[in-house]
Chain A
Amino acid sequence: GAVVSQHPSRVICKSGTSVKIECRSLDFQATTMFWYRQFPKQSLMLMATSNEGSKATYEQGVEKDKFLINHASLTLSTLTVTSAHPEDSSFYICSAREFGGLYGYTFGSGTRLTVV
Protein backbone atom coordinates (compact mmCIF):
# COMPACT_ATOMS: atom_id res chain seq x y z
CA GLY A 1 0.00 0.00 0.00
CA ALA A 2 0.85 3.67 -0.04
CA VAL A 3 3.75 4.52 2.25
CA VAL A 4 4.92 7.95 3.32
CA SER A 5 8.36 8.38 4.84
CA GLN A 6 9.10 11.38 7.01
CA HIS A 7 12.60 12.38 8.10
CA PRO A 8 13.97 13.12 10.62
CA SER A 9 11.81 11.57 13.31
CA ARG A 10 13.34 13.77 16.00
CA VAL A 11 15.44 16.91 15.84
CA ILE A 12 16.78 19.32 18.41
CA CYS A 13 18.01 22.69 17.21
CA LYS A 14 19.14 25.97 18.68
CA SER A 15 17.02 29.11 18.57
CA GLY A 16 17.61 31.10 15.43
CA THR A 17 18.60 28.17 13.25
CA SER A 18 16.57 26.55 10.48
CA VAL A 19 15.37 22.98 10.28
CA LYS A 20 14.25 21.05 7.21
CA ILE A 21 11.77 18.18 7.39
CA GLU A 22 11.30 15.84 4.43
CA CYS A 23 8.17 13.98 3.41
CA ARG A 24 8.46 11.33 0.71
CA SER A 25 5.89 9.14 -0.94
CA LEU A 26 7.74 5.85 -1.44
CA ASP A 27 5.64 3.90 -3.89
CA PHE A 28 3.27 6.38 -5.42
CA GLN A 29 3.19 9.84 -6.87
CA ALA A 30 1.68 12.60 -4.78
CA THR A 31 0.65 15.79 -6.50
CA THR A 32 -0.59 17.09 -3.17
CA MET A 33 0.86 16.78 0.31
CA PHE A 34 -0.44 18.24 3.55
CA TRP A 35 1.52 19.49 6.53
CA TYR A 36 0.01 19.34 10.01
CA ARG A 37 1.15 20.48 13.41
CA GLN A 38 0.21 18.84 16.66
CA PHE A 39 0.63 20.49 20.04
CA PRO A 40 0.99 18.28 23.11
CA LYS A 41 -2.20 16.42 23.91
CA GLN A 42 -4.07 18.25 21.18
CA SER A 43 -5.38 17.43 17.77
CA LEU A 44 -3.77 18.01 14.40
CA MET A 45 -4.04 21.40 12.80
CA LEU A 46 -3.55 21.77 9.06
CA MET A 47 -0.75 24.22 8.31
CA ALA A 48 -0.55 24.14 4.55
CA THR A 49 -1.28 22.24 1.38
CA SER A 50 1.77 21.52 -0.73
CA ASN A 51 1.21 21.33 -4.48
CA GLU A 52 3.82 19.88 -6.80
CA GLY A 53 5.27 22.51 -9.08
CA SER A 54 3.42 25.44 -7.57
CA LYS A 55 3.23 27.51 -4.43
CA ALA A 56 1.87 26.04 -1.25
CA THR A 57 -1.48 27.14 0.11
CA TYR A 58 -1.24 28.18 3.74
CA GLU A 59 -4.01 28.11 6.31
CA GLN A 60 -5.04 31.29 8.01
CA GLY A 61 -2.63 32.32 10.72
CA VAL A 62 0.33 30.29 9.43
CA GLU A 63 3.36 32.41 8.57
CA LYS A 64 4.52 31.67 5.04
CA ASP A 65 7.97 33.12 5.59
CA LYS A 66 8.52 31.08 8.71
CA PHE A 67 7.30 27.74 7.41
CA LEU A 68 8.73 27.36 3.92
CA ILE A 69 7.30 24.55 1.86
CA ASN A 70 8.82 23.19 -1.31
CA HIS A 71 7.24 20.45 -3.40
CA ALA A 72 9.75 20.07 -6.19
CA SER A 73 8.87 16.56 -7.31
CA LEU A 74 5.97 14.14 -7.28
CA THR A 75 7.49 12.22 -4.39
CA LEU A 76 9.03 14.85 -2.14
CA SER A 77 7.81 17.80 -0.14
CA THR A 78 9.92 19.66 2.41
CA LEU A 79 8.98 21.90 5.29
CA THR A 80 11.65 24.29 6.54
CA VAL A 81 11.14 25.99 9.86
CA THR A 82 13.19 29.16 9.58
CA SER A 83 14.71 31.07 12.49
CA ALA A 84 13.22 28.58 14.90
CA HIS A 85 12.10 29.63 18.37
CA PRO A 86 11.08 27.52 21.36
CA GLU A 87 7.40 28.14 20.59
CA ASP A 88 7.93 26.29 17.29
CA SER A 89 8.63 23.13 19.24
CA SER A 90 5.94 20.70 18.20
CA PHE A 91 5.13 17.50 16.39
CA TYR A 92 4.91 17.97 12.63
CA ILE A 93 3.21 15.39 10.44
CA CYS A 94 2.82 15.21 6.69
CA SER A 95 0.34 13.30 4.62
CA ALA A 96 0.31 12.56 0.93
CA ARG A 97 -2.59 12.14 -1.41
CA GLU A 98 -2.24 9.28 -3.84
CA PHE A 99 -3.32 10.20 -7.31
CA GLY A 100 -6.62 8.46 -7.98
CA GLY A 101 -6.88 7.22 -4.43
CA LEU A 102 -8.65 8.40 -1.32
CA TYR A 103 -7.83 11.91 -0.31
CA GLY A 104 -4.93 12.63 2.05
CA TYR A 105 -5.12 9.52 4.14
CA THR A 106 -1.51 8.25 4.20
CA PHE A 107 0.52 9.88 6.96
CA GLY A 108 4.20 10.05 7.71
CA SER A 109 5.42 8.99 11.13
CA GLY A 110 5.94 12.58 12.24
CA THR A 111 8.86 14.75 13.33
CA ARG A 112 9.33 15.87 16.91
CA LEU A 113 11.01 19.29 16.80
CA THR A 114 12.52 20.72 19.96
CA VAL A 115 14.00 24.21 19.84
CA VAL A 116 16.32 25.05 22.71
Chain B
Amino acid sequence: GDSVTQMEGPVTLSEEAFLTINCTYTATGYPSLFWYVQYPGEGLQLLLKATKADDKGSNKGFEATYRKETTSFHLEKGSVQVSDSAVYFCALSDRDNAGKSTFGDGTTLTVKP
Protein backbone atom coordinates (compact mmCIF):
# COMPACT_ATOMS: atom_id res chain seq x y z
CA GLY B 1 0.00 0.00 0.00
CA ASP B 2 0.84 3.67 -0.08
CA SER B 3 3.10 5.08 2.59
CA VAL B 4 4.88 8.30 3.49
CA THR B 5 8.04 8.49 5.56
CA GLN B 6 9.01 11.78 7.12
CA MET B 7 12.09 12.94 8.88
CA GLU B 8 11.70 12.44 12.60
CA GLY B 9 11.44 15.45 14.80
CA PRO B 10 11.37 17.54 16.69
CA VAL B 11 13.43 20.04 14.77
CA THR B 12 14.67 23.15 16.56
CA LEU B 13 16.22 26.00 14.59
CA SER B 14 17.26 29.56 15.19
CA GLU B 15 15.50 32.32 13.31
CA GLU B 16 16.81 32.81 9.76
CA ALA B 17 18.28 29.32 9.62
CA PHE B 18 17.80 27.03 6.62
CA LEU B 19 15.13 24.37 6.91
CA THR B 20 14.92 20.96 5.30
CA ILE B 21 12.35 18.33 6.23
CA ASN B 22 12.82 15.11 4.32
CA CYS B 23 9.91 13.16 2.91
CA THR B 24 9.91 9.98 0.83
CA TYR B 25 6.97 7.97 -0.40
CA THR B 26 5.85 4.69 -1.87
CA ALA B 27 2.76 4.50 -4.04
CA THR B 28 1.29 2.03 -6.47
CA GLY B 29 -0.07 4.65 -8.85
CA TYR B 30 0.77 8.22 -9.79
CA PRO B 31 0.26 10.27 -6.66
CA SER B 32 -0.06 13.96 -6.07
CA LEU B 33 2.16 15.15 -3.24
CA PHE B 34 1.39 17.67 -0.56
CA TRP B 35 2.80 19.47 2.45
CA TYR B 36 0.38 20.52 5.15
CA VAL B 37 0.99 22.69 8.21
CA GLN B 38 -0.83 22.45 11.52
CA TYR B 39 -0.53 25.22 14.07
CA PRO B 40 -1.26 24.39 17.73
CA GLY B 41 -4.93 23.64 18.31
CA GLU B 42 -5.87 24.14 14.67
CA GLY B 43 -6.71 22.00 11.68
CA LEU B 44 -4.59 21.30 8.65
CA GLN B 45 -3.74 23.94 6.10
CA LEU B 46 -2.43 23.11 2.68
CA LEU B 47 1.04 24.61 2.36
CA LEU B 48 1.99 23.50 -1.14
CA LYS B 49 1.43 20.73 -3.64
CA ALA B 50 2.83 19.10 -6.77
CA THR B 51 0.90 16.86 -9.09
CA LYS B 52 3.55 15.36 -11.38
CA ALA B 53 7.24 14.59 -11.58
CA ASP B 54 9.61 17.58 -11.53
CA ASP B 55 6.85 19.96 -10.46
CA LYS B 56 7.91 22.43 -7.79
CA GLY B 57 5.35 23.59 -5.26
CA SER B 58 5.99 26.83 -3.42
CA ASN B 59 4.23 29.05 -0.92
CA LYS B 60 5.24 31.54 1.78
CA GLY B 61 8.92 30.93 1.09
CA PHE B 62 8.58 27.16 1.37
CA GLU B 63 9.22 24.94 -1.61
CA ALA B 64 9.37 21.26 -2.50
CA THR B 65 10.12 19.45 -5.74
CA TYR B 66 8.45 16.21 -6.81
CA ARG B 67 11.34 13.81 -7.51
CA LYS B 68 10.05 10.62 -9.03
CA GLU B 69 13.49 9.04 -9.40
CA THR B 70 14.15 9.29 -5.68
CA THR B 71 10.43 9.16 -4.65
CA SER B 72 11.01 12.25 -2.55
CA PHE B 73 9.31 15.56 -1.81
CA HIS B 74 11.59 17.35 0.64
CA LEU B 75 10.38 20.61 2.15
CA GLU B 76 12.81 23.55 2.25
CA LYS B 77 12.85 27.15 3.36
CA GLY B 78 15.81 29.45 3.13
CA SER B 79 15.18 31.52 6.25
CA VAL B 80 12.71 30.41 8.90
CA GLN B 81 10.81 32.68 11.23
CA VAL B 82 9.41 32.15 14.71
CA SER B 83 5.93 32.14 13.17
CA ASP B 84 6.86 29.03 11.16
CA SER B 85 6.81 26.96 14.34
CA ALA B 86 4.23 24.25 13.71
CA VAL B 87 3.81 20.61 12.77
CA TYR B 88 4.43 19.79 9.12
CA PHE B 89 2.88 16.79 7.41
CA CYS B 90 3.91 15.30 4.11
CA ALA B 91 1.10 13.50 2.31
CA LEU B 92 0.12 11.89 -0.92
CA SER B 93 -3.17 11.36 -2.67
CA ASP B 94 -3.29 8.51 -5.10
CA ARG B 95 -6.06 8.57 -7.65
CA ASP B 96 -5.58 4.82 -8.02
CA ASN B 97 -6.60 4.53 -4.37
CA ALA B 98 -9.85 6.45 -4.64
CA GLY B 99 -8.08 9.70 -3.83
CA LYS B 100 -7.45 8.87 -0.19
CA SER B 101 -4.71 10.83 1.49
CA THR B 102 -1.88 9.06 3.25
CA PHE B 103 0.05 11.11 5.77
CA GLY B 104 3.51 10.97 7.23
CA ASP B 105 3.88 11.08 10.99
CA GLY B 106 4.47 14.82 11.06
CA THR B 107 7.56 16.83 12.01
CA THR B 108 7.40 19.40 14.77
CA LEU B 109 9.39 22.52 14.01
CA THR B 110 10.30 25.02 16.69
CA VAL B 111 12.02 28.23 15.67
CA LYS B 112 13.71 30.21 18.41
CA PRO B 113 14.38 33.94 18.23
Contacts and interface: CB of A to CB of B under 8 A. Distances in A.
Interface of A: 6, 32, 34, 36, 41-44, 46, 49, 93, 95, 97, 102-110, 112
B99 A106 contact: no
Contacts of A103: 32, 93-95, 99-101
Contacts of B15: none
Contacts, number: 62
Interface in B82-109: 89, 93-95, 98-106, 108
Contact of B103 (A44, A97, A106, A112): A44
A109 B102 CA distance: 18
Nearest to B87: A41
Given A34-B101, A107-B36, A112-B41, 13 more contacts: A32-B99, A43-B103, A43-B105, A44-B89, A46-B100, A93-B44, A102-B51, A104-B93, A105-B32, A105-B34, A105-B49, A107-B43, A109-B42
Nearest to B101: A104
B46 interface: yes
12 contacts: A36-B101, A43-B105, A44-B101, A46-B100, A46-B102, A93-B44, A103-B100, A104-B99, A104-B101, A105-B93, A107-B44, A109-B42
B98 A49 contact: yes
Interface in B34-91: 34, 36, 41-46, 49, 51, 89
A45 B60 CA distance: 27
B39 to A, nearest CB: 11
A115 B45 CA distance: 26
A112 B106 CA distance: 18
Nearest to B10: A41
Given A102-B32, A103-B93, A105-B49, A34 B44 contact: no
Contacts of B99: 32, 97, 103-104
Contact of A42 (B34, B98, B100, B106): B106
Contact of A43 (B46, B89, B93, B98): B89
A108 B49 CA distance: 17
